[in-house]
Amino acid sequence: MIRLTDLRTGYGRAEALHGVSIDVHPGEVLAIVGPNGAGKTTLLSAIAGVRPVWSGTITLDGADITSTPTANRVERGIVLCPEGRRIFASLSVEENLRVGAVSLRAKGSKTSPKEAIESAYERFPILGERRTQRGGTLSGGQQQMLAIARALISEPDYLLLDEPSLGLAPAVIEYVYEILGALKEGGLAIAMVEEGAERALAFADNALVLNSGKIVLEGTASELSSHSDLVTSYLGEH
């Protein structure tokens, strides 16, 4: 289990998270929703080790990883798929996937990079068809698939997903969620930030609403769905 206790962090002198405490349990999907600027991306970045923690703690199965470098967190099963895909535009699809496979040896996986890449092509057949194509020339949906595939290649126990459906066509969103559903059924824990609260709550087990760097609502996803008017008021949606 990943546990955040009284976590504070930010940018420059501006604090973005004000004492946030959450648990991410093995095999669960946690939806993190909230308005723009609420601190959602900052929260995932802190869990991944991309954003330094100012105070508070992060533990993984009871072990303190607050100051553990990002690469070591990847080896221990925590992987971030950031907003905006952030693939290597000048590299081919397969070269992007090879980057994701680098951590397999470090974590002592029995899966070879070649096997991991072929598994990614089975999960996302379009990537197999485009394996020699440069990442920057893929469609937005294909780039998102590549970003998720690259994250999964390192065999995470906890996948941190930031806005997986942002800017995608509805049909592509449905396909991405089909893949995520299969991963959920397979026992992968997912902490996801999503722009559409309704979709995120329908998919998740548990959920929280973040507003101005603080948790203002939390509970099971079904509980928050039953109070959709309250959730909507925090999101500023009409």
For residue 64, what are the CA distances in angstroms to 18, 57, 60, 122, 141? 20, 7, 7, 36, 36
The predicted structure's pLDDT at residue 43: 98
Domain count, the chain: 1
The predicted structure's pLDDT at residue 238: 40
pTM of the full structure? 0.93
Instruction: Residue 209: give the domain boundaries.
Output: 1-77+156-164+196-238
Q: How many CA atoms lie within 13 A of 229 on its CB side?
A: 0
The confidence band for 34, taking pLDDT boundaries of 50, 70 and 90, is: very high
Interatomic CA distance for residues 51 and 11, integer angstroms: 9
Question: What CATH number did the domain enclosing 226 receive?
Answer: 3.40.50.300
The predicted structure's pLDDT at residue 83: 84
The predicted structure's pLDDT at residue 171: 92
For 148-159, what is each residue's pLDDT tens digit? 999 999 999 999
Residue 188 falls inside a structural domain: no
Residue 54 falls inside a structural domain: yes
Mean pLDDT of 47-74: 97
Residue 178 falls inside a structural domain: no
Mean pLDDT of 34-54: 96
In degrees and rounded to multiples of 5, residue 38 shows phi and psi of -75, -20
Residue 193, pLDDT above cutoff 50: yes
CB count within 10 Å of CB 76 equals: 18
State the chain's mean pLDDT as an integer.
Answer: 93
